């Protein structure tokens, strides 16, 4: 099994800064801690360095060569985390909190980065052949025993109205009155709305993100997911021409199609990554 590191936000921030990624460290810490004084920054980093010492991750403060300052292999992991420009980002939310899983492709392998409630960061390398299983374990999808696939399409405007119902206690009849075109898929809408209400309107997602120093992160692909007690739904833009009006597909996934979807994300990341 690959070496796994469990770090606090402050420990990861210190590690990034010590390895030369000051801007990334500052941005991540400010996002969660807000604006703090220089004296407070020093206190945060002192505490983080002591904690990393106690965990056996930080060996010394030899700034001329960070490879000698950390346990073998740790700096490579930090480098790959900091330098990746394409990544798969997964978001899930349960009664235990908010979870984000980011898969980066780096020079030394795929980095598994799990963020728990924006506080705890779990880092390790994951083998190529284990990526699908890692993402599947993160979401815990449910597959229906019914082999019949449910698949319907709608406009972006109709879906925005539908999403309001999925995440509130609004009535379907009001949506049909405003959007008569949806009447033709009424049975499917009733099913997904019922599943959504059983899940508390909890839509999670998986996306492919491109980052660049010069621009804000760009969502290349995004699939919404509704993981209900008896089935898993996905909602995505089926129009391959991104310059055209989106055509949203709402469909259930069996295990084969789930694995195909995850493999498509992985292939896209591999194909576009710039090492």
pLDDT per residue as tens digits for the range 211-268: 876 557 888 899 999 999 999 999 999 887 777 888 889 999 999 999 999 999 999 9
The residue length of the chain stands at 275
Task: Check residue 144 and give its pLDDT.
Answer: 79
Q: Which residue has the higher pLDDT, 182 or 48?
A: 48
Q: Which one, of 28, 19, 24, 109, lies nearest residue 63 by Cα?
A: 19
Q: Would you say residue 41 has pLDDT above 90?
A: no
Q: Would you say residue 187 has pLDDT above 70?
A: yes
Q: Which one, of 14, 72, 12, lies nearest residue 43 by Cα?
A: 14
Q: Which residue has the higher pLDDT, 171 or 241?
A: 241
Q: Would you say residue 272 has pLDDT above 80?
A: no
Q: Would you say residue 52 has pLDDT above 80?
A: yes
- How much of the chain exceeds pLDDT 90, in percent? 54
CB-hemisphere CA count at 13 Å for 163? 16
Task: Check residue 32 and give its pLDDT.
Answer: 81
Task: Check residue 275 and give its pLDDT.
Answer: 39
Task: Check residue 167 and give its pLDDT.
Answer: 61
221-228: long-range contacts at Cβ-Cβ below 8 A with a sequence spacing of 24 or more?
221/265, 221/268, 223/261, 225/139, 225/141, 226/166, 226/192, 226/195, 226/196, 226/199, 226/202, 227/139, 227/140, 227/141, 227/142, 227/199, 228/142, 228/195, 228/196, 228/198, 228/199
In contact, 84 and 106? CB cutoff 8 Å:
yes
Give the mean model confidence (pLDDT) for residues 197-217: 83
pTM: 0.91
Q: Using one digit for the tens of pLDDT, what is the confidence trace for 113-135?
A: 999 999 999 999 999 999 999 99
Q: Would you say residue 72 has pLDDT above 60?
A: yes
Task: Check residue 128 and give its pLDDT.
Answer: 94
Q: What is the 3-state secondary structure (H, E, C) of 90-143?
A: EEEEECCEEEEEEEEEECCEEEEEEEECCCEEEEEEECHHHHHHHHHHHHCCCC
Q: Using one digit for the tens of pLDDT, what is the confidence trace for 83-118?
A: 998 999 999 998 899 999 999 999 999 999 999 999
Q: 3-class DSSP state for residue 245?
A: coil
Q: Would you say residue 273 has pLDDT above 80?
A: no
**Per-residue pLDDT band at 12 (split at 50, 70, 90):** very high
Q: Would you say residue 138 has pLDDT above 70?
A: yes
Give the mean model confidence (pLDDT) for residues 51-73: 91
């Amino acid at each position: 099994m690959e070496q796994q590191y469990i770090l606090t936000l402050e420990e990861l921030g210190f590690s990034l800064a010590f390895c030369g990624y000051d801007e990334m460290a500052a941005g991540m810490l400010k996002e969660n801690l807000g604006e703090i004084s220089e004296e407070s920054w020093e206190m945060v980093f002192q505490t983080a360095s002591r904690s990393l010492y106690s965990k056996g991750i930080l060996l010394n403060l030899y700034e001329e060569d960070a490879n000698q300052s950390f346990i073998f292999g740790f700096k490579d992991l930090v480098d790959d985390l900091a330098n990746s420009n394409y990544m798969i980002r997964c978001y899930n939310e349960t009664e235990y909190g908010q979870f984000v899983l980011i898969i980066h492709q780096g020079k030394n392998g795929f980095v598994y980065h799990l963020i728990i409630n924006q506080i705890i960061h779990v880092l390790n390398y994951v083998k190529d052949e284990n990526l699908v299983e890692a993402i599947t374990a993160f979401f815990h999808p449910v597959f229906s025993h019914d082999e019949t696939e449910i698949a319907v399409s709608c406009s972006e405007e109709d879906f925005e109205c539908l999403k309001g119902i999925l995440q509130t206690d609004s009535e379907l009849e009001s949506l049909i009155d405003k959007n008569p075109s949806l009447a033709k898929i009424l049975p499917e809408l009733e099913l997904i709305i019922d599943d959504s209400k059983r899940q508390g309107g909890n839509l999670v997602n998986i996306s492919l993100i491109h980052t660049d120093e010069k621009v804000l992160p760009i969502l290349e692909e995004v699939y919404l997911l509704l993981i209900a007690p008896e089935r898993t739904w996905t909602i995505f833009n089926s129009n391959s021409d991104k310059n055209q009006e989106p055509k949203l597909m709402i469909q259930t996934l069996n295990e084969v199609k789930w694995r195909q979807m995850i493999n498509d994300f992985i292939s896209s990341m591999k194909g576009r990554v710039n090492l």
